[in-house]
Each structure stands twice: as structure tokens, then as C-alpha cells.
Amino acid sequence: MKTLSKHLISLIAASLLLGCSNEPKTAESKTTPISNAKPIVVASKIDTEGGLLGNLMLLTLESKGLAVTNKVAFGVTPIVRKALLAGEVDIIADYTGNGAFLFAGLEQHPDWKNLDKGWALVKKQDYAANKVVWLTPSPANNTYALAVREDVATQYQLKTMSDFGAWVSKGGPVKLIASQEFVNFGGALPEFEKNYAFKMQPNQMVVVAGGDTANTIKAAAQQISGVNTAMVYGTDGGIAASKLVALTDDKNTQHVYAPAPIVREEVLKLHPEIETALAPVFQSLTVEVLRELNARIQLGGESAHDVAHAYLLEKGFISK
């Protein structure tokens, strides 16, 4: 999230940069026909959890005897999604809450704040618009959050986003590190600012291109460039270990971002076993499990591939 994903760049801004639109009326693209002999192209976002989820899908499908092409850590969300709709990749992991900003008129739909209802809504919309199928999701919520250094949180009594909003509005010495995605995406920082009545100024932020929270957490923990606040995801494993305090979203402003595999219908029809292979894997990914696995990558220095492989072996999802 992590990735959430739990997780999009402001779709309007990103679309302008990428020269495309992600609204359903214009998002449909001509896809490249495939055959049974063509490998399934597995792609993912470029952040920590994206790499983990991508490798979990890749290794699981490979263990079922399916030919796969590795495009894990392919790019940020709009790039990965554009590639999926164009048929350049076949399966990715995305987050249910992102559906609110993929389809016009649904941004404020109440179902986005419920995992099952949000998944059903995005599944229906994405299939109708793009013939993309959302498979069984994880029960975890990788929503966006802010985490503050423990010493700063203690000094200024920051426990909730309401506390944070009041602190910033009164001139508190905040220095936030966040991805371009988080800063621009309507459902992330702008949503926090609107609901908690504060406004971050450019000189109060360090904006980075990627959404890897391992880097944002490290910057806050080490006070790099004066940073004391970091963009994090609900499933990040490095928050407590890095002596940061995740602030409670006490007004429940954020949508639920449950990760799920999403696949082009054409590919799923050729390989229906994809759904049954991935369902138990994603159902096993609770928030506690994802935090632990992400921590092994973010703090332990293990590769996403090795962590995914060890987890799948331990749980019996693969045999070697």
C-alpha cells in the first residue's frame, strides 16, 4: 500500500504527463492477441509491496507449470495499468480503493470504505469498461498514512491526523517526505488536507519520484534533509522498528486498499487456473503477514523474490 498501491498518482496529472487518459471512456485500448504458447507477462508496481506481490504471483504461476515473463517492478501505477490495458502485460496487482479514481462519478461512493463492497464495485466497473478481471483480494488494508518520528510525536502530542492538521496549521515544524503519487493523487494528501484543515507548502515537503516507503521511512528515521514525517502504507513493516508513530485517521477519510491480482479476461480464459492458483495465496496475506514480509525486505535487506519464495514454500503453496 505497504500499497496500497496501500496507492495512484493523481490520474489527471499523471495522464497529462503520460499523454493518456485513465477514464473508462478513453482507457480502453486495442490489445495484442495472445495464444496458449505465449508466456503470461506478470508485472507490478515499483515499490516494496509491489515487488513482493509481483513475485508471489510470478512464482505461484510458474509452479503451476505456466510459462511466465517477469516484469516485476515495472513502474508506477499509471504506467503499469496503461501497459495492462494495452496488452503489453497480462496480470498485475492493484488495490481496491484505486477504483474510486479510475471511473468518473464514483470518487465519493461509500462502498470504497468497505473491503468487500469496494472489491465488488471495482470488479464490475473494470470488467465493463476494459474486460479486466479482479480476482480474490487480500484481507489486508494497505491504505495511505502519515508517520511521525517518535520524538516529534511526543513533543507535540501527535497521535491522530486531527492532531497533525492542527499542528501544521499552527506553524508546526513539519517536513514531509512523500512520493509524487501521494502528493498529487486526489485520494491521498489532498484528501487529508481537506478533511483535517491543513495545507502543506512546497518548502515543507521532499517529493520523490517512486513510492517505495522503505526510502521515506529511512529518511524520517535518519532526519535526512530535516525530514520528520513520512508517507507510509498500512502494511509497512518498518514503521515501529524505525521509531516512527503512524497517525490514526480518526475521521476515516481513506478508502480501503486491499491488494488483488487483476488480469486481462483474454488471458484468464486461456488460463483459468490462474484464479484458483492465486486465490489462496492472496487470502493468506493478512495485514500482519504483509507487515512481516515487507519488514524483511525493508529492514532485513532480503530481496522481494527471496521473501516471496520462502513464504510460498513455508505455506505449502509451492513445492520447490
What is the rounded CA–CA span in Å between residue 134 and residue 278? 11
Query: Would you place residue 22 in the very low, low, confident or very high pLDDT band (cuts 50, 70, 90)?
Result: very low
| E-only strand ranges, 115-184 | 132-134, 144-149, 176-179
Domains of the chain from N-terminus onward: 11-141+255-314 (3.40.190.10), 144-246 (3.40.190.120)
Share of the chain above pLDDT 70, in %: 88
The one-letter code for the residue type at 178 is: A
The answer to which of 10-24, 186-200, 205-219, 281-295 has the lowest mean pLDDT is 10-24
Give CA separation, 39 vs 25, 68, 267, in Å: 29, 5, 10
pLDDT tens figures, 60-111: 999 999 999 999 999 988 999 999 999 999 999 999 999 998 999 998 899 9
Confidence of residue 36 (pLDDT cuts 50, 70, 90): low
Instruction: Indicate whether 253 pLDDT > 90.
Output: no
pLDDT number for residue 35: 52
Q: What is the pTM of this model?
A: 0.73
Residue 82 host element (H or E) = helix 77-86
Q: What is the pLDDT of residues 161-180, one digit of tens each?
A: 999 999 999 999 999 999 99
**In the prediction, which pLDDT does 211 show?**
78
pLDDT at 252: 83
Distance CA 120, CA 54 (A): 22
Q: Are strands 205-208 and 176-179 parallel, antiparallel or unpaired?
A: parallel
